[in-house]
Amino acid sequence: MRIEAIRLRNVRAFGEAGLALEGLTDGLNVLSAPNEFGKSTVFDALRALLFHKHTTTHREVKSLEPDPNPGGGAPEVTLDLTSPEGRFRVEKRFLRRRMAQVTDLTTGRKVAEADDAERWLRALIGADRPGQGPTGLLWVEQGASLRQPDAEEGRGDAVYDALGEEVAEVTGGERARRVLTKARERLDVLVTKERRSPKAGGPYRAAVDLAEALRAEVDVLTARARASRVTREELALAEDELARLGSGEAAAEREAALAAARARLAAAEGAAAKLDGAREAARRTREAEGAARLALERRNEEEGEARAAFATAEAAAARRDASRTSLETAKAASSKADEAAREAAVAERAASTLRDRAIAARQALAASEKLERLGRDLEAARSAHRALADLPKPRPLPDLAELERARTRVLTAEARAEAVRVRLVVEAAEGATLDGAPLAPGTRALSGPVRVAAPGLTLRIEVPDAAEERELTAAHDALCAALEKAGAESVEAARSQVERAREAAAERRRLEEGLTRLAPEGLGALERQAEEAAEAAILPDDVPDEAEAAAALRDASQRAAKAIGAAETARRHLDEAREAASSANEKAAVADARAADARSRLGAVEAWDEAWGTLTAALDTAQAERARAEAALAEAEAQLPDTEGLSAEVDRLAQAARNREQRILHLNREAARLRAELTRDRAEGADERLASVKGQLEAAEADAARYEREADALTLLIDTLSGAQAERRERFLAPVMAELAPLLAAVFPGGALSLTEGLSPDVLVRDGGTEAVERLSGGTREQLAILTRLGFARLMAKGGHPVPVVLDDALVFADDARIARMFNALNLAARDVQVLALTCRQAAFEGLGGTLLTPRPMTVS
Amino acid sequence: MGAFRFVHTADWQLGKPFGRFPAERAAQLRAARIDAIGRIAGVARDHGAGHVVVAGDVWDCEQPLPETIAQPLDAMASASDLVWWLLPGNHDPAARGGLWDRMRERGLPSNVRCLCAAGPVEAAPGAYLLPAPWVSKNPGRDLTEDFAGHSTPDGALRLGLAHGGTTEFRQDTEQSAAIAAGAASRGGLDYLALGDWHGHKRVDARTWFAGTPEPDSFPRNEPGYVLVVEAAPGREPVVTPVAVAQYHWSRDTLDLTEGLDPVARFEALHEGGPERRFRLAKLTVTGTARLHDRAALLSHLEGRTASYAHLDWDVEGLRTLIEADGLDRLDREGSLRQAAERLHARSINAQLGEADRGTARLALDMLVTLAADTVAADA
């Protein structure tokens, strides 16, 4: 549709005279008027006409009421438009004398009235034809381009919805969205978003949890039911055994058997008592026999011992006699050997003395040679010693350097003094004297006052007291003092004095070294050595040959050693003989004592046979008695009944009876316990509860499986449907983007824009970067919103559904550069789209171009 | 001995928990089994029978809860004009220390008799019951073989009570308690009252299964009856099945063909039958349906569940016809239609496993149902 004219009367500031905006062109139309003019009133009136029923009392409509309203006229709005069906006028009056009507401007025929007119209008703008696409118009309200259509206020929704319908039509529509929403809601109840696992609080998770809990319960109840069955079986076994044990017949039989066994045991025990006498007799005879045998054995043993003692005593006496003889022989041998040893020692000492003399003679000869050498050394040493003593004592040497410095000072002082001295130039000195001495011609330097006398003349020449002279005197004094300290008369004398001292020192060193070599331990020591050598050199008389003397001594020593060894051997033999004799004596004494003892105990050897016979006879008697007694005992034992066997039988039967009683007691207790247990299990009705829980488990598992299938199916549905939507949205948006591109290029050269699912600007790409639209400045966002709307409008226009775009005080935030580009974009869009721009910024919008609308009072009624 | 009239019933399976059902429904189903006692008493009185024989599986398990024992006994006691003869079966064998011992310890009502031991019992002058009770879970032999060995006075009426499938049903091994054919004639019986098979069934002229009086599962036989039996020595018995069930369990099939309204077809299934609140139905839907018919049926079933004691359905076997018209109704060209086409393609893709195809079918069902809901919301 295209708007041709808008008229209003009794709307806010436009009273009875009303306002008419006429002659709107296909392209860009601009209403530029100051703030107070009421552009927004035009905008709101147009909106009221299009989107509110004439019967409404909506506050938006009420706000159209003039205030004050002296005439009391009702708000009226008229719209002239062109649609594919023709040219029409839509008129509405609100609040009072309400009216709505549509007139065909070509024929003047009234097309619709009242509610029909409303329906006609809704059909025109597409508000009541879901799925048919919008043919309404696009608004950019003051500041509203910055936000999404406000559903609460109900304003702008219709247009947005209309646009949305277009999108929805293509993408599968509102129904698809709702299906998707419902499917998501259903899925969301079942599973978690991230992992699509059963969601806590949802029925799926509840079924899974319930199934798990029931499985555990089934396990518990199964165990309990099984336990109950086992208990019943145990109880049956216990009762059966009790019945068997408690049977009267069997008990009587068992008691009779026990009584019979006891009687047999009593009889056997009587017989056993009689046996004890025979057993005692046998024991006694066994003891008697043992005693007899022991006596015989002891006699035999003692006799043997006595015979041995006799033999031992005899042998010991023989050994004692032999040892005495040996002792005497050894004594004689020892004395002889001692004598021989003494003689050999004497001979050795003589040989030794002779050899010592030979050695002494050899040493005296060596000493005289040494004495001669020592005499020579001593003489040299003494000479050196004397020479040393003759050498002058070393004195401290003068300091030659100091003397040189003093002399240099004198020479220097003399030179300086000479330079300043008064010169006495004598040119002719005939008869003149100087200090008494004849004065010769020539030049003289005066160092002190002089007296020149000539006949008739005496001249005393005074000399000034010069510093140089004083220095000279001081230098002289210093030199004299130094020479005196050095003990020299002159510097030269001091120098030769030093030279002499060095030579004397060298001589001293030479002498001292000689003396040290000759007498390292001193002269005294050398003298003592000489005296000792002199003593040692005295040669004895009658000197024997040393080698012979040594050989003789060796022989004598060997002989002496041999003799001493022989004497020691003889002495040892003597000691041994003494020891042997003593031992033989002792042993013989002991053996004699033992033999005597044996004899005293056993009596005479002759009587021994008789004693032996007596003991043998006693043993024979005891053996016979023992044999008799044992035979009697064996006979008695053979006749005794098996009391042990009988006793064991009685014990066995009695124990069995006790066991049985205890078993019965135990079984009764066990049965009672099992019955109690059963009562408890029965009360719980384990089987029935188990069956019930199993059924519930089956149901819970089926539920869980069903929810799982449902979740799978919902997931598949959601994926498939949203996939289809995405594809179709892409396809739908392509032409929108194509329409938007040139507009965008006009304002943001090189820029690109993506749209959200809700068709609002999403991301702006420019200068190689991406920016979320919501983060852009308000001005930029507004510009993008306007461009987007223009883009849609172009698309619709090209699709044969032209839609006007109304801009109410748009671009308030645009700077100068940007606003110029936006004007370009508006003009570009206006080639296909009808644009109505309302602005109060007259100066800023001067450059917009387009058709300027001139508001006039309303003339058409 | 003249004619002896009695009611033959079996398989009460008291205490069966029905745990798969919600707790409230399970309680109702349990209660219905106890209530059946009163209805059986009514049948006996109506037919002039003084005795009711229950041929095994009176209780569902060996160890029921105390109330599961007490309440039915109280119900039998209150029908004091009748004598109730109870036989242990495979579910409730008379094991030592088991349920039957507990009942005896508790004290049986004077008109209730347990048949826990084999051997003739004179129920009425000249009328002898020969029970073949189960005393363990696995007797391992055909207990009816003993009947021939139990003698009764000449001319007496011999009524056998036994529990177990006949060899006709069971191809078991030798150690089986299955009852061989001809048991009644081999045991010299005038009538053999059997339990175990939950539907009522004539085995031979003298042998019948009574079936359970109150069904407990979706049957393939005919439960919900008791048999009124008139027997006389040497004569064929006269057996009359009488329906006593409160709840009706049905296994229904809906075979759809394109073009017929599936909702109407479903509604016709249980039209005129017992009230739906007493019906437990297991529905299998097969055949072919258009996309929207399918969605409509599913949506209808969902809504109808509340009317039934239980209603569940299996549409795995229902082929969905996807055609342009159906898809147009869903969405002419939008993403809904595209998603539906893709899901359908997946649901018939032979490359995928059955589980994946099933998921795709379910997703498509959801898509159509949700889309239909949104249309309804728009309307």
Q: Is residue A56 part of a domain?
A: yes
Token output for A139: 């608004």
Whether residues A717 and B343 touch (CB distance < 8 A) is answered with: yes
**Greatest C-alpha distance within chain B:** 89
Distance (Å, rounded) from C-alpha A120 to C-alpha A83?
A: 12
Whether residues B66 and A697 touch (CB distance < 8 A) is answered with: no
Of residues A492 and A274, more confidence is placed in A492
pLDDT at B72: 95
Please count the structural domains in chain A.
1
Whether residue B174 is found in the same domain as residue B265: no
**Rounded to an integer, what is the distance from CA A668 to the centroid of its chain?**
67
Distance (Å, rounded) from C-alpha A777 to C-alpha A722?
A: 33
| Contact residues, chain A, for B375 at CB < 8 Å | 175
Domain hosting residue B264, numbered range = 248-378
Whether residue B212 is found in the same domain as residue B263: no
Of residues A484 and B374, more confidence is placed in A484
Residue ranges of E strands in A22-85: 28-32, 76-83
When pLDDT is cut at 50, 70 and 90, the band that residue A151 belongs to is very low
**A754 to chain B, minimum CA–CA distance in Å?**
21
Whether residue B63 is found in the same domain as residue B100: yes
Token output for B124: 């009425």
Query: With an 8 Å Cβ cutoff, is B372 touching chain A?
Result: no
Q: Is residue A193 part of a domain?
A: no
Q: What is the mean pLDDT of chain A?
A: 82
Q: Which residues contact A479 (CB under 8 A, 6 or more apart)?
A: A403, A406, A407, A409, A410
Instruction: Inform me whether the pLDDT recorded for A814 exceeds 60.
Output: yes
Model pLDDT for residues A196-209, shown as the tens digit of each residue: 888 888 899 999 99
**Residue linked to tokens 């036994």:** B162
| Contact residues, chain A, for B68 at CB < 8 Å | 685, 688
Cβ atoms of A461 and A449 closer than 8 Å: yes
Query: With an 8 Å Cβ cutoff, is A226 touching chain B?
Result: no
The CATH number of the domain holding residue A799 is: 3.40.50.300
Is residue B377 within a helix (H) or strand (E), and if so which, with residue range? helix B354-378
When pLDDT is cut at 50, 70 and 90, the band that residue B333 belongs to is low
> Which residues make beta-bridge pairs with B130?
B160
Domain hosting residue A128, numbered range = 2-148+760-852
Among the partner-chain residues A688, A697, A714, the one whose CB lies closest to the CB of B366 is: A714
User: 3-class SS at B49?
Assistant: coil
When pLDDT is cut at 50, 70 and 90, the band that residue B377 belongs to is low
Radius of gyration of the CA atoms of chain A, in A: 84
Q: Comparing A442-456, A511-525, A563-577, A754-768, which segment has the lowest mean pLDDT?
A: A754-768
Sign of the dihedral defined by the CA atoms of residues A740, A744, A746, A749, in that order: negative
Count of other CB atoms within 10 angstroms of residue A424: 17
Q: Is residue A843 part of a domain?
A: yes
Of residues B238 and B138, more confidence is placed in B238
User: Mean per-residue pLDDT for A581-603?
Assistant: 86
Residue A532's alpha-carbon distances to A375, A381, B349, in angstroms, are 12, 18, 147
Cβ atoms of A748 and A777 closer than 8 Å: no
Helices B335-347 and B354-378 pack at an angle, to 10 degrees, of 150
Radius of gyration of the CA atoms of chain B, in A: 26
Give the angle B233-B236-B241 at the CA atoms, nearest 5°: 115
**Which DSSP category does B14 fall into?**
B
Whether residue B291 is found in the same domain as residue B202: no
Whether residue B256 is found in the same domain as residue B239: no
Of residues A275 and A653, more confidence is placed in A653
| Contact residues, chain B, for A692 at CB < 8 Å | 17, 19, 26
Count of other CB atoms within 10 angstroms of residue A479: 20
Residues 170-189 of A with CB under 8 A from B: 170-173, 175-176, 178-179, 182-183
**Which DSSP category does A198 fall into?**
B
Cβ atoms of B223 and B250 closer than 8 Å: no
Distance (Å, rounded) from C-alpha B363 to C-alpha A710?
A: 8
> Which residues make beta-bridge pairs with A76?
A9, A93
Model pLDDT for residues B148-195, shown as the tens digit of each residue: 899 999 889 999 999 988 876 555 555 577 888 888 889 899 999 999
Cβ atoms of A272 and A640 closer than 8 Å: yes
Q: How do A835-839 and B248-256 pair as beta strands? A: unpaired
Is residue A237 within a helix (H) or strand (E), and if so which, with residue range? helix A203-245
Q: How do B318-321 and B279-290 pair as beta strands? A: parallel
User: 3-class SS at A779?
Assistant: helix
Of residues A60 and A129, more confidence is placed in A60
Token output for A121: 């209008």
Q: Among candidates A12, A17, A10, which has minimal Cα distance to A73?
A: A10
| Contact residues, chain A, for B20 at CB < 8 Å | 695-696, 698-699, 702
Q: Is residue A707 part of a domain?
A: no
Q: Is residue A809 part of a domain?
A: yes
Count of other CB atoms within 10 angstroms of residue B205: 12
What DSSP letter does each residue of A475-491 carry, written as one string?
A: HHHHHHHHHHHHT-SSH
Is residue A116 within a helix (H) or strand (E), and if so which, with residue range? helix A114-125
Note if the bond before B153 is cis, omega within 30 degrees: no
Token output for B109: 């009502």
Query: With an 8 Å Cβ cutoff, is B26 touching chain A?
Result: yes
Whether residue B11 is found in the same domain as residue B63: yes
| Contact residues, chain B, for A727 at CB < 8 Å | 335, 338
Distance (Å, rounded) from C-alpha A389 to C-alpha A412?
A: 45
User: 3-class SS at A855?
Assistant: coil
Total beta-carbon pairs less than 8 A apart between chain A and chain B: 158
Cβ atoms of A828 and A741 closer than 8 Å: no
Query: Final residue of a domain: which of B200, B225, B243?
Result: B243
Whether residue B52 is found in the same domain as residue B181: yes
Query: With an 8 Å Cβ cutoff, is B336 touching chain A?
Result: yes
Q: Which residues contact A753 (CB under 8 A, 6 or more apart)?
A: A737, A740, A744, A761, A762, A763, A764, A765, A773, A784, A787, A788
Helices A643-684 and A248-390 pack at an angle, to 10 degrees, of 90
Q: Which residues contact B217 (CB under 8 A, 6 or more apart)?
A: B198, B249
Whether residue B231 is found in the same domain as residue B252: no
Distance (Å, rounded) from C-alpha B365 to C-alpha B43?
A: 48
Please count the structural domains in chain B.
2
Query: Final residue of a domain: which of B243, B272, B290?
Result: B243
pLDDT at A160: 44
Q: Convert A306-370 into a string of H (helix), E (strand) and C (coil).
A: HHHHHHHHHHHHHHHHHHHHHHHHHHHHHHHHHHHHHHHHHHHHHHHHHHHHHHHHHHHHHHHHH
Whether residue B65 is found in the same domain as residue B128: yes
Residues 92-131 of A with CB under 8 A from B: 130
Cβ atoms of B286 and B255 closer than 8 Å: yes
Residues 341-370 of B with CB under 8 A from A: 342-343, 346, 358-360, 362-367, 370
Model pLDDT for residues A758-805, shown as the tens digit of each residue: 666 778 888 778 888 778 877 788 788 788 878 877 877 777 777 788
Distance (Å, rounded) from C-alpha A607 to C-alpha B376?
A: 157
Q: Is residue A454 part of a domain?
A: no
**Residue linked to tokens 């259509």:** A149
pLDDT above 90 coverage of chain B, percent:
50
Compare all CA atoms of chain A with the CA of B95 and give the residue at the minimum distance.
A232
Whether residues A176 and B15 touch (CB distance < 8 A) is answered with: no
Among the partner-chain residues B63, B331, B362, the one whose CB lies closest to the CB of A176 is: B331
User: Mean per-residue pLDDT for A636-658?
Assistant: 83
Of residues A423 and B331, more confidence is placed in A423
Whether residues B63 and A687 touch (CB distance < 8 A) is answered with: yes
Whether residue B65 is found in the same domain as residue B202: yes
Phi, psi of A263 (to 5 degrees): -60, -45
The CATH number of the domain holding residue B156 is: 3.60.21.10
Count of other CB atoms within 10 angstroms of residue A730: 11
Instruction: Inform me whether the pLDDT recorded for A135 exceeds 70.
Output: no
User: Mean per-residue pLDDT for B49-54?
Assistant: 95
Count of other CB atoms within 10 angstroms of residue A618: 15
Q: Is residue A371 part of a domain?
A: no
Compare all CA atoms of chain B with the CA of A717 and give the residue at the minimum distance.
B363
Whether residue B344 is found in the same domain as residue B357: yes
Compare all CA atoms of chain A with the CA of B334 and give the residue at the minimum distance.
A172
User: 3-class SS at A394?
Assistant: coil
Give the angle A74-A78-A80 at the CA atoms, nearest 5°: 175
Query: Final residue of a domain: which of B213, B243, B273?
Result: B243
Model pLDDT for residues A255-267, shown as the tens digit of each residue: 888 888 888 888 7
Q: Is residue A400 part of a domain?
A: no
Whether residues A688 and B338 touch (CB distance < 8 A) is answered with: no
Distance (Å, rounded) from C-alpha B188 to C-alpha B95?
A: 28
Distance (Å, rounded) from C-alpha B282 to C-alpha B251?
A: 5
Whether residue B262 is found in the same domain as residue B298: yes
Length of chain A: 861
User: 3-class SS at B137?
Assistant: coil
User: 3-class SS at A703?
Assistant: helix
Distance (Å, rounded) from C-alpha A78 to C-alpha A91?
A: 4
Distance (Å, rounded) from C-alpha A75 to C-alpha A69?
A: 10
Distance (Å, rounded) from C-alpha A452 to C-alpha A436?
A: 8
